[in-house]
Amino acid sequence: MNPTDAEGGITVALGVTYEGRDPDLLSRLLPNVAYVEITLETIAEVKDGKIVLSDEIMSEFKNMGNAAKIIVHGVSLSIGSHDSWGVTYLHLLDKFMEQVDVAWHSEHLGYTKVDGEHLGIMLALPKTEQALDLVCERVHRIQERYRIPFLLENIVHVIPDFDGDYDDAEFLNQLSRRTGCGLILDVYNLECDAHNHGFDIRNFLDRLDARSIKEVHMARGVEHNGFLLDVHSQLPSNSTIHLAKDVVLSAQDSVQVVVYEFMPEAVPGLGHTAIAEELARMRRFFSGLSHASR
Q: Which is nearer to Fe ion, 4 or 42 (CB)?
A: 42
Site string (193-222) toward Fe ion, x via CB under 5 A: ------------------------x-----
> Which part of the chain contacts Fe ion (CB under 5 A), choosing from 172-180, 186-194, 245-253, 280-288?
186-194
Alpha-carbon distance 70 to 92, whole Å? 15
Tell me the three state secondary structure of residue 46.
strand
DSSP codes, 248-275: HHHTTT---EEEE---GGGHHHH-HHHH
* CA atoms of 262 and 240, how far apart (whole Å): 14
Applying CB under 5 A, the span of 8-16, 146-154, 198-206, 235-243 interacting with Fe ion comes to 146-154
Q: How far is the CB of 199 from Fe ion (least distance, A)?
A: 16
Measured from the CB atom, the residue of 9 and 15 that comes closer to Fe ion is 15
Shortest approach of Fe ion to residue 283 CB, angstroms?
19
Three-state DSSP class for 52? strand
CA distances for 73 relative to 83, 127, 155, 166, 195, angstroms: 22, 23, 13, 26, 25
Where does this chain touch Fe ion (CB under 5 A) — which range of 180-188, 199-207, 248-256, 271-279? 180-188
Tell me how many residues contact Fe ion (CB under 5 A): 3
- Please report how close the Cβ of residue 121 comes to Fe ion at its closest, in angstroms: 14
Alpha carbon distance 169, 210 (integer Å): 10
Taking the least distance from each CB to Fe ion, the nearer of 9 and 150 is 150
Please identify the residue of the shown chain whose CB is closest to the bound Fe ion. 217
Angstrom distance (rounded) from CA 15 to CA 2: 14
Q: Which range touches Fe ion (CB under 5 A), out of 153-161, 167-175, 191-199, 206-214? A: 153-161
Contacts of 85 (CB under 8 A, 6+ apart): 77, 78, 79, 138
Q: How far is the CB of 189 from Fe ion (least distance, A)?
A: 6
**Contact pick of 37, 107, 186, 191 for Fe ion (by CB under 5 A):** 186
Number of other residues whose CB lies within 10 A of the CB of residue 73: 24
Among 99, 91, 92, smallest CA distance to 53 is for 92
Q: Which CB atom, from 132 or from 184, has the smaller least distance to Fe ion?
A: 184
DSSP state of 235: P
Q: Is residue 230 at the binding interface for Fe ion, with CB under 5 A as the rule?
A: no
**What residues make contact with Fe ion under the rule CB under 5 A?**
153, 186, 217
